[in-house]
């Protein structure tokens, strides 16, 4: 019996997009109905805890948030787990990645927000990132573009996740996928996962699967009592660990879908499996 849902946000719970409401009515109704029947909800995302709190307000039910791909867990109104990337390690992987692969920029996610650093044509690059943020509307994170603020955070901030950005094209997506495989082998002291045109880096042992494992222990659940739902490369760890009740969005890449047991077209289709 499914007693909990651990769901990704972008491309999953947020699909199809509702740039004013955040969550479409059908997906929201499913979660609220599940919670009202005694089910537990866990939001598992690469996003920040602060953004997770906004999602909780939209759902209007008790939820746990696993943020930054497992680096931080927020439950019962408090942080119950956190792990940070050492600042010198962050600098090393960011510098090495640019020297070797010429990525267009980097975003570091800390307890103070997301800080953007652009390589090469900085003014054009920052302009593109700002357009991207404005296009996101209600889905936009709190982003900062100043070089001084970025330097302060990379030097001494609490870094939970690094995002190495390669562009916005399909070519950039393929490059990010290839670079992720290289980084996974090159940096044994860090975690790396692929998400569209971005490679996401977190502390060693911090990924979505590890976050859900910690969550089910905290919530007193068994592995076969939780359904995991996602659509991206950073969800693969969940699919592999919780394969029995793993659900991938049908629109996901084949390299992602092959790890999940079930495919669903939209999040609301999960109801066919959990309400039995």
Write down the pLDDT at residue 153: 97
What is the per-residue pLDDT across 54-97, written as a single tens digit (0 to 9) for each? 999 999 999 999 999 999 999 999 999 999 999 999 999 999 99
Strand-pairing partners, residue 263, are 248
- Asked whether the beta carbons of 262 and 252 are under 8 A apart, the reply is no
Write down the pLDDT at residue 146: 87
Write down the pLDDT at residue 244: 97
Write down the pLDDT at residue 242: 98
Write down the pLDDT at residue 131: 66
Write down the pLDDT at residue 275: 85
Distance CA 50, CA 65 (A): 10
Write down the pLDDT at residue 204: 94
Percent of the chain as helix, strand, coil, to the nearest 5: 45, 25, 25
Q: Which residues does the chain have with pLDDT short of 50? A: none
Which structural domains are found in the chain, ordered by start?
Answer: 4-83+206-274 (3.40.50.1000), 87-203 (3.30.1240.10)
Enter the pTM of the model: 0.91
Phi-psi region of 102 (alpha: psi -120 to 50; beta: other; left: phi over 0): left
- Asked whether the beta carbons of 122 and 145 are under 8 A apart, the reply is no
């Amino acid at each position: 019996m499914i007693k909990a849902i651990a769901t990704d946000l972008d491309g999953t719970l947020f699909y199809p997009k509702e740039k004013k409401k955040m969550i479409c009515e059908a997906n929201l109704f499913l979660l609220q109905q599940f919670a009202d029947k005694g089910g537990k909800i866990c939001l598992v995302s690469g996003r920040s805890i602060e953004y997770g709190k906004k999602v909780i307000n939209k759902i209007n039910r008790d939820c746990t948030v696993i943020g930054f791909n497992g680096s931080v867990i927020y439950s019962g109104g408090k942080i119950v787990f956190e792990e940070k990337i050492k600042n010198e390690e962050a600098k090393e992987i960011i510098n090495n990645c640019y020297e070797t692969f010429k990525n267009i920029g980097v975003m570091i996610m800390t307890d103070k927000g997301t800080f953007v650093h652009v390589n090469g044509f900085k003014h054009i690059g920052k302009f593109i990132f700002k357009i991207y943020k404005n296009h996101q509307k209600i889905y936009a994170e709190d982003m900062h573009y100043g070089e001084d603020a970025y330097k302060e955070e990379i030097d001494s901030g609490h870094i939970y996740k690094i995002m190495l950005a390669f562009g916005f094209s399909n070519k950039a997506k393929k490059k990010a996928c290839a670079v992720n495989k290289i980084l996974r082998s090159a940096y044994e002291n860090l975690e790396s996962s692929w998400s569209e045109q971005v490679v996401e880096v977190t502390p060693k042992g911090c990924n979505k699967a590890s976050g859900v494992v910690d969550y089910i222990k905290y919530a007193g659940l068994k592995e076969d009592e939780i359904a995991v739902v996602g659509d991206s490369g950073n969800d693969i760890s969940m699919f592999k660990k919780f394969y029995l009740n793993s659900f991938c969005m049908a629109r996901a890449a084949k390299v992602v879908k092959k790890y999940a047991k079930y495919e669903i077209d939209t999040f609301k289709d999960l109801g066919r499996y959990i309400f039995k």
